Amino acid sequence: MENLWNKENVEQRYDLPFMDLLFQAQGVHREHFDPNQMQLSSLFSIKTGACPEDCKYCAQSGHFKTKLKKEKLLPFDFVLAQAKAAKAAGATRFCMGAAWRSPPKKDLPKVCEMIGAVKDLGLETCVTLGMLDVEATQALKDAGLDYYNHNLDTSPEYYKKIISTRTYQDRIDTLNRVHQAGIKTCCGGIVGMGESKDDRINFLLELSKLDTPPASIPINKLAPIEGTPLGETPPIDDFEIVRIIAVTRIMFPKSHVRLTAGRDTLSEAVQTLCFFAGANSIFFGEEGKLFASSNPESDQDHILFDKLGMTVEAVDVA
């Protein structure tokens, strides 16, 4: 598919007056999605802490002293119980995250077993396990994985200020392997790390250059974690969050755009603006250790959906 996006036409959208931008984004959104429907995902950390990567925003990194408790890969039965609870609370997708540079060969079969069991519950499955080689990618495909999450985080230029232990190309290579294996990609980034407007635009341009547009695009607001290098970063303006979601919706009309980490810092009104701008997926539920920041409780989310007359998108498990 030809990529129609370049720096100039993305910047033109980004710089539109706020109301015009939202009007355009809502129009695109309505062409491809029910504007009153939300996809609900639940995120659970199946292996926490001691990650060898040095991502400067992350409590999981073994390079920084944070309050996060380190854990080994959790037992199968415990993870499955969490998936059942997530489904009971309304989730249609269960996402499992592990703090690895790449999945160890001894643990990958255990994760594949979890994927199969979660899928048997009638949930969509997603994992984020770090970088993948061809063998690991195929093992996940054979297990029936629906989505693989691997974020680009930011622009290639700003990335070097955030992470040094893996390259931007490393991330792109993993995403392309996942796509080639026939697994859907979940790929987004983080805003509010001190990056410029140009960095945000270039990040979206990099997403548009992937072999296929991500099926799901999480937009995270930095949740500063004490003990990390970005722990005292001033918060980004809420309107900037809405703006980048709107531009993302316009550029990726058929992708789910997910309002993700940092959502707990947004008021109901700001979240609603994000939904109007094209965000139609969220992580919900109790505190998620992967982000080490809270998201609104699931009942609060359903209360907000009731106020807005929104319904939950049905699961589509192949």
Catalytic residues: 51, 55, 58, 95, 126, 186, 258
Residues 6+ apart with CB under 8 A from 163: 53, 54, 55, 56, 153
User: How far is C-alpha 266 from the geometric centre of its chain's CA atoms?
Assistant: 17
Reading the block at residue 12, the tokens are 């033109």
Query: How far apart are alpha carbons 32 and 60 in whole angstroms?
Result: 36
Query: How far apart are alpha carbons 47 and 74 in whole angstroms?
Result: 6
Residues 6+ apart with CB under 8 A from 269: none
Reading the block at residue 128, the tokens are 């984020």
Query: Taking a C-beta distance cutoff of 8 angstroms, is the pair 210, 204 a contact?
Result: no
